[in-house]
Amino acid sequence: MPTFEITPRNKVKRLAERGKYDKATIYPIVDEAFICHVGFVQDGQPFVIPTIHARHEDTIFFHGAKASRLLKYIEAGQPLCVTITLLDGLVMARSVFHHSMNYRAAVLYGRGQVIEEPAEKLAALRIISEAIMPGRWDDARQPTGKELKATTVVAMPIESASAKTRSGPPGDDDEDYALPVWAGVVPIRQLIEPPVADPLLNEGITVPDYMADFVNGLKP
């Protein structure tokens, strides 16, 4: 996959050796996460808003109510910064100074575009839905015209991006390796548990296969 050009905007400065600019590293981070954080500045005040997202090729999508501050800002064509972080472990060194975390983080830059055409909006909502739970879109009721009008959907072409990652054991000072202190990594992973049925669920409706596969890590 191609690599984003390294510019002052996306260049990783601290611990630059951990920076990566190829889409093969960046996009899997984006796709694995359920939540991103969108940063913007309005009237001199910075805001960072968590929201659901999904990526299709070189575009990231998110949606929300028309009245939200973030979506009004996006409609004005202002620049955005989208961040995503996946935590993989706590790194316990022999010294507190060298404690760290194993992580994968991505930062994306671009300008949002509000999708107005109904068919395009539905297609974008399908992308978001399928990113959260593959197979759900065709199983559940589709949005009504009223619901569609009440929802703003934004497409942000990814103009620039970078990733920063850390993996592996701690790195202690040479003189500390002899200390009688346990060192290593405490792995962390997101646990998906079996579905819990709605108390009002009609009798006889079972968990669909696509959801059971998702829980068991068999995403298509």
pLDDT above 70 for 220? no
At 218 the pLDDT is 58
Do 54 and 123 form a contact (C-beta atoms < 8 A)?
Answer: no
Q: Round the average pLDDT of the chain to a whole number and report it.
A: 92
Phi-psi region of 147 (alpha: psi -120 to 50; beta: other; left: phi over 0): alpha
Burial 167-194 (b: 16+ CB within 10 A, else e): eeebebeeeeeeeeeebebeeeeeeeee
Do 115 and 158 form a contact (C-beta atoms < 8 A)?
Answer: no
Name the percent of the chain in helix, strand, coil, to the closest 5.
Answer: 25, 35, 40
pLDDT in tens, 68-99: 777 778 777 789 999 999 999 999 999 999 99
Domain positions in the chain are: 16-189
Number of residues assigned to the chain: 220
Torsion sign over Cα 25, 30, 34, 39: positive
Q: Which amino acid is at 171?
A: G
pLDDT above 80 for 160? yes
pLDDT above 60 for 9? yes
pLDDT above 90 for 219? no
pLDDT above 80 for 203? yes
In the chain, the percentage of residues whose pLDDT exceeds 90 is 76
The residues pairing with 46 across neighbouring beta strands, listed in sequence order, are: 41
Query: Stretch 118-136: mean pLDDT, rounded?
Result: 94
Q: 16-189: CATH homologous superfamily?
A: Electron Transport, Fmn-binding Protein; Chain A (2.30.110.10)
Do 211 and 133 form a contact (C-beta atoms < 8 A)?
Answer: yes
List the beta strands (DSSP E) in the chain. Answer: 19-20, 35-42, 45-52, 54-56, 59-65, 79-92, 100-111, 113-115, 151-157, 160-166, 184-187
Q: Return the minimum-mean-pLDDT range out of 17-26, 27-36, 132-141, 143-152.
A: 143-152
At 67 the pLDDT is 67
pTM score of the predicted model:
0.91
